[in-house]
Structure 1
Amino acid sequence: MKRYRPSEPQTRRISILGREFAMPRSRGLRVGLGVALCILGLLGFLPVLGFWMIPLGLLILSHEFHVVRRVRRKLIVWWERRKRPSG
């Protein structure tokens, strides 16, 4: 287990389907990557590109912008309530 050292900048990580991936350290690069994935995801009908890029871009942007983060959290709560058996 790696210990946090105050002199080292903390690496941002993103968790997708139980696996963790490191995101770029630069905020501008993270925002650019998230926006590019969302825009290119709109062209999902073309080969190679796909509509899967839109949620991935929004997930990356949710680490930078509170509005996107709030919507993501509401979606997670809604999904968990929907999965729970009623009774």
Structure 2
Amino acid sequence: MSGKEDRRGLRARIGQVSRWARGRLPPGVRSLVGILFLLGGLVGFLPVVGFWMIPLGLALIWFDIAALMRRLRHRRGDDR
């Protein structure tokens, strides 16, 4: 399998997991799981965990940051 096919498969898997997490995990838990994924990605040289966990952790954390920013803008009255 080529590197390009590997990346497509990885992107698809990250997309599946992020859609699942966005629909089923509450916001605080998503951030906690995202932080755990980031920490697991930092020790990606170990057999069970991997560097693939870093982008997934960032995606999970970003869902909560984006929602918080929208809420703050709405509260402030910005309509950007």
**TM-score, scaled relative to structure 1:** 0.50
Change (3 A) 1:25 1:46: closer
1:20-51 residue CA offsets vs partner (Å, 9 max, x unmatched): 43213311110111000001110001111100
* Structure 2 unaligned regions, length at least 5: 1-10, 67-80
Q: Size of the alignment, in residue pairs?
A: 51
User: How far 1:60 moved relative to its partner?
Assistant: 0.9
Higher fraction of helix: 2
| Cα RMSD for the two superposed structures | 2.0
Change (3 A) 1:47 1:25: closer
Cα distance between partner residues in 1 of 2:44 and 2:25: 28
Map 1:7-86 → 2, pairs under 5 A: 16-17=11-12, 20=16, 21-23=19-21, 24-66=24-66
**TM-score, scaled relative to structure 2:** 0.54
1:41-72 residue CA offsets vs partner (Å, 9 max, x unmatched): 10001111100000110011111114xxxxxx
* Structure 1 unaligned regions, length at least 5: 1-15, 67-87
Higher RCO structure, 1 or 2 (CA under 8 Å, sep 6+): 2
Fraction of identical pairs, as percent: 37
